[in-house]
Structure 1
Amino acid sequence: MLQLTNVSTYYDNIAALQGISFAVEEGEIATLIGANGAGKTTTLKTICGLLRPRSGRVLFRGQDITGARADTVVRAGIALVPEGRRVFPQMTVWENLVLGATVRRDRSTVAEDLERVYAQFPVLAERRRQLAGTLSGGEQQMLAIGRALMARPELLLLDEPSMGLAPLVVEQIFGIIAEINRQGTTILLVEQNAHLALSLARHGYILETGRIVKAAPAAELLASDDVRRAYLGE
């Protein structure tokens, strides 16, 4: 579904990604893990059009989307749940969700999808008239995911969904992510909790200073002594 080939992305003259290549298969959960500053968020921003790579190609379903505008990428079928959730705090839950459907042409089914998101996240239905900034961290994460789902993505990019959340809330969020995948949405997950990410994913890629240093089935990475010492704190 998604293929990056020799992608390099820079901030001014600083190379954040240095020729990375990897693929995400349709229907799977794939994960990028690595230390802070390794280039994980830069990778997602490059895919979804928020950053333009200096070289390399990004293909989605065989279509070249390298450097395409962000709204074009969303229309193609990719949605991002950004790090830190980035909900609009002075807008209601309902307004945040409806914004997720802004680029859609099939306006007649937006209300139907809104009800589907409410069924997936009942707390959002209960708080639909509440300002997003007054929600808890876990509720804001649910809202950010729901807003992305309103774009009807085929590929969902998740950037650090567990960040700043209590363990029980993290467990709930990852249960929701697994269910979204079971319903047919392909997922590329960037996550600081490497053990949790690899437990959920089918394939894993390890980023170090802008380079992919290891790629393998997630179960194989979980079983690797080197990976466990370097990224799982064991």
Structure 2
Amino acid sequence: MLELKEVQAFYGTIQALKGVTLEVNAGEIVCLIGANGAGKSTTLMAISSVVPVGGGTIAYDGRDITRLATDRVVALGITQVPEGRMIFPDLTVLENLRMGAYLRRDRAALKADEAHALDLFPILKERRKQLGGTLSGGEQQMLAIARALMARPRLLLLDEPSLGLAPIVVEHIFEVITRINTEGTTLLLVEQNAQMALQVAHRGYVLETGRVVISGTAADLLADPRVQEAYLGMDMA
């Protein structure tokens, strides 16, 4: 479904991605793990055309989207949940959800999708008339995911969904991630909680300083001593 070949990206003169090559197959959950500054978020933003690609190619369903405008990327079926949630604080929960469907023209189906999004996160149903800015961090993360789903993505890019959240909320978020995948959405997940990410993912890539240094099935990465030592908090000495 998605293929990156030798993708490079820059912030000014600083090279954030140094030839990232990876692929995501339809129906998978693929995770990107690595330390802060490894290039994980930049990879997602390059796919979404938020950060311009300075070299290499990105293909989606065999189509080159390397330099496609962001709104066209979304229209093709790729939606991103950004790090930091970025919900609209002065809009209600329902208004935030409807913003996620901004590019859609099939208005008849919106109510059903809205109901499904609220079914995934029942607390949002209770808060549907509440302003987004008054929600807790966990509720805002749920809203950010629900808003993205309103675009009916085939590929969902999730950036640090567990960041700063209580363990019980993280558990619920990852249960929903698994459910979304089971219902037919492919996911590319950036997550510092490598243990949790690899438990739900099919495959994964480890990024270090803008490069893929290890890749494999989730089971292989969980068993890899290098991954255990660097990202799973296990001392292999």
Asked if these proteins are the same fold (TM beyond 0.5), I'd say yes
Which residue of 1 is the match for residue 97 of structure 2?
97
TM-score between the two structures when normalised by the length of structure 2: 0.97
Superposed displacement of residue 10, structure 1: 0.6
SS at the partner of 2:5?
Answer: strand
- Partner residue of 2:30? 30
* Contact in 2 for aligned 1:206/1:213 (Cα 8 Å): yes
1:51–1:67 CA contact under 8 A, matched in 2: no
Question: For residue 63 of structure 1, what is the aligned residue in structure 2?
Answer: 63
**8 A Cα contact 1:162 1:170, kept in partner:** yes
SS at match of 2:37: coil
Report if aligned partners of 1:4, 1:22 keep a CA contact under 8 Å in 2: yes
List gaps (5 residues or longer) in structure 1.
Answer: none
Task: Quote the offset at 1:52 in angstroms.
Answer: 1.0
Partner residue of 2:137?
A: 137
Quick check: 1:183 aligned with 2:183? yes
Structure 2: which amino acid aligns with 1:86?
M
| Distance in structure 1 (CA, Å) of the matches to 2:4 and 2:54 | 13
Question: Alpha-carbon deviation of 1:125?
Answer: 1.3
Q: Aligned partners of 1:62, 1:186: CA distance in 2, in Å? A: 16
Cα deviation, residue 108, structure 1: 2.1
Query: Is the 1:46–1:67 Cα contact (8 Å) retained in structure 2?
Result: no
Helix, strand or coil: the match of 2:58?
Answer: strand
Shift of 1:152: 0.2
* Whole-angstrom distance in 1 between the partners of 2:206 and 2:15: 17
Measure, in 1, the Cα distance between the counterparts of 2:64 and 2:21.
15
**Percent of aligned pairs with the same amino acid:** 57
How many pairs are equivalent?
234
Distance 2:126 2:199 in 1: 31
- In 2: Cα distance, 1:51 partner to 1:226 partner: 30
Unaligned runs of 5+ in 2: none
Q: Distance in 1 between matches of 2:200 and 2:3?
A: 21
Residue 155 of structure 2: aligned partner: 155
- Describe the superposition over 1:183-206 as per-residue Cα deviations: whole angstroms up to 9, x where unpaired: 010000000100111111011100
Runs of 4+ in 1 over 4 A off after TM superposition: none
| Match status 1:194 vs 2:191 | no
Aligned amino acid, residue 57 of structure 1: T
Q: Which amino acid aligns with 1:227?
A: V
- Deviation of 1:115 after TM superposition, in Å, equals 1.2
> Partner residue of 2:74?
74
**1:204-223 equivalences in 2 (<5 Å):** 204-223=204-223
